[in-house]
Amino acid sequence: MKILYCITRSKWGGAQNHLYELIRAQALKGSDVILVVGDEGDLTKKIHENKIPCRIILMSSLVREISISKDLRSIRKFRKLVKKENPAIVHLHSSKAGAVGRVACINLNVKVIFTAHGWSFTDGVSKKKARVFVGIERFLSGFTDKVICVSKFDYDIANRKNIFKNTTGIAIYNGVPDEYPNLSLERDRNEPINFVMIARFSDVQKRQDLLIDAAKLLSEKGITNYRITFIGDGERLLEAKNKVHAYQLEDKIDFLGFKETPMDYLDHNSVLTLISDYEGLPISIIEGMCMGRPILATDVGGVNELITHGENGYLTSVKPEDIKLFMHKISQLTTDEFQQLSVNSRKLYEKSFTIDDFISSTFRCYTDVL
């Protein structure tokens, strides 16, 4: 069948990772796959490099920021494209593409699916902003055949906000392929624990600053058997580096910048770490679980669907004092305790978050709407 996918930005992130795997799987099935995206970047580059048979259509007017003129232009262009291509399914990703695409498809003979990679009205978002986005999503739901949520948490929020009044919703977990480096699950007690956080420094939801604050508290207590590695770039990177310099923590914290294969930088003493104000279902955590890494993350969004506290990692609040306590706890684990967390992470990945489960569940959703 012919499927038209759409996402706002090509810059790599969880939504782009998710969409790449869908495009790859659908192309392997022999479907006619089209991707509409607002710019060129990591996603389009990866599709080209891996020679995936997918037609890419750039729509420069499709931007993340609200722009009445550009948004109206995108709606007109997208509607014209859908009429021309006549796909069986239009599958939209990210809030702006979801809004533009659904309005463009009104009264067209096409099935429309929207995947919410975390809601704009989730916990942690201001009440005023949340009310606006709830109203928008309720309106758009009337032009949506199916809404896919990437976590039960997001599904429950949407259900409580009556987003599914005029459509149906389903929760489908993200999944990742089992193609990451095979690591030893044993910790080397002679080496410090390395807390590795993979996230851009541009999005205010990611709180690298809180991890740095926690490191300062550890150093003040004379606790030194740890390291922190940040992987990612963005406009707030310099701000974070300045804070590390002010705290005199250069010997404890490394900045590696953007890496195309960030999981290559996790070793057998690494803990996959994600400190955020809000989340959907973070793919970086699932990748860490696939590699058998213990996890340290804030208890927000669907994160507690990935982490069973004390079994494959630890859930913390966003308070630096709490983050510090769990960093210290992890650094004091025996080899056997650390290994058990690692084993449990891998088992949970195999049970619920494989790429096969994610792809097959999404394809069943396609069949259902058709």
Kindly report which listed range (150-164, 186-200, 263-277, 334-348) carries the lowest average pLDDT score.
186-200
* pLDDT 10s digits, 162-207: 999 889 999 999 999 998 766 667 777 778 999 999 999 976 789 9
pLDDT at 98 (0 to 100): 96
Query: Average per-residue pLDDT in the chain?
Result: 93
Q: Give all domains of the chain, ordered by start, each with its CATH number.
A: 2-175+354-369 (3.40.50.2000), 193-352 (3.40.50.2000)
pLDDT at 69 (0 to 100): 95
How many Å from the N-terminal Cα to the C-terminal Cα in the chain?
A: 11
CA gap 179, 17 in Å, rounded = 14
Q: What is the mean pLDDT of residues 14-41?
A: 95
Q: What is the mean pLDDT of residues 273-279?
A: 92
Task: Please list the residues that pair with 257 across neighbouring strands.
Answer: 231
pLDDT at 181 (0 to 100): 67
* pLDDT 10s digits, 89-107: 999 999 999 999 999 999 9
Share of the chain above pLDDT 90, in %: 82
State the SS3 of the chain. Answer: CEEEEEECCCCCCHHHHHHHHHHHHHHHCCCEEEEEECCCCHHHHHHHHCCCCCEEEECCCCCCCCCHHHHHHHHHHHHHHHHHHCCCEEEEECHHHHHHHHHHCCCCCCEEEEEECCCCCCCCCCHHHHHHHHHHHHHHHCCCCEEEECCHHHHHHHHHCCCCCCCCEEECCCCECCCCCCCCCCCCCCCCEEEEEECCCCCCCECHHHHHHHHHHHHHCCCCCEEEEEECCCCCHHHHHHHHHHCCCCCCEEEEECCCCHHHHCCCCEEEEECECCCCCCHHHHHHHHCCCCEEEECCCCHHHCCCECCCEEEECCCHHHHHHHHHHHHCCCHHHHHHHHHHHHHHHHHHCEHHHHHHHHHHHHHHHC
Name the amino acid, one letter, at 100: V
pLDDT at 179 (0 to 100): 82
Q: What is the mean pLDDT of residues 304-333?
A: 95
pTM of the model: 0.87
* pLDDT 10s digits, 233-259: 989 999 999 999 999 999 999 999 989
pLDDT at 278 (0 to 100): 86
- Grade residue 260 by pLDDT with cuts at 50, 70 and 90: confident
pLDDT at 203 (0 to 100): 66
pLDDT at 182 (0 to 100): 67
Statement: residue 357 has pLDDT above 90: yes
